[in-house]
């Protein structure tokens, strides 16, 4: 019986060693997958921050373009009024002013 108990004990120890090895292997795989996921999440967050920074820059640039466009439109309106005032003193001046305004508008487009 002692021999049988020794054999059972050895079998249990062998099975426990296998179980421990299996757990260790699976733990290593899970740990590796977790590390990979964390790396991907980090890369995604960095990309998102870069996109956010680019978007902010584009919004600022767009705002500058809008401001410049408004200024150009105001300058164009002022130029039309000034040109019309200067050319309005003659009968043909109004026609010339209208023609010049249309030419300037066409050139601006």
Nearest in space to 42 (alpha carbons), one of 105, 71, 50: 50
Total number of domains constituting the chain: 1
Other CB atoms within a 10 A radius of the CB of residue 36 amount to 10
Contact assessment for residue 88 and residue 94, using Cβ atoms and an 8 Å cutoff: yes
User: Tell me, what's the pLDDT at 7?
Assistant: 84
CB environment 59-93: b (16+ within 10 A), e (fewer): eeeeeeeeeeeeeeeeeeeeebeebeeebeeeeee
Please give the residue range of the domain that contains residue 51: 2-108
How do residues 31-46 score in pLDDT, each as one tens digit? Answer: 999 999 999 999 999 9
User: Tell me, what's the pLDDT at 2?
Assistant: 67
Write out the chain's pLDDT in tens, 109 residues.
567 777 888 888 999 999 999 998 999 999 999 999 999 999 999 999 999 999 999 999 999 999 999 999 898 888 877 777 766 656 566 677 677 778 887 777 6
Other CB atoms within a 10 A radius of the CB of residue 98 amount to 14
């Amino acid at each position: 019986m002692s021999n049988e108990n020794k054999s059972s004990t050895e079998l249990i120890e062998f099975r426990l060693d296998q179980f421990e090895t299996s757990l260790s292997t699976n733990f290593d795989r899970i740990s590796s997958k977790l590390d990979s996921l964390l790396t991907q999440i980090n890369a995604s967050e960095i990309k998102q921050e870069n996109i956010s920074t680019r978007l902010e820059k584009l919004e600022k640039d767009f705002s500058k373009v809008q401001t410049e466009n408004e200024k150009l439109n105001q300058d164009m309106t002022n130029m039309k009024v000034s040109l019309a005032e200067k050319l309005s003193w003659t009968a043909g001046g109004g026609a010339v002013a209208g023609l010049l305004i249309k030419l300037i508008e066409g050139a601006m487009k």
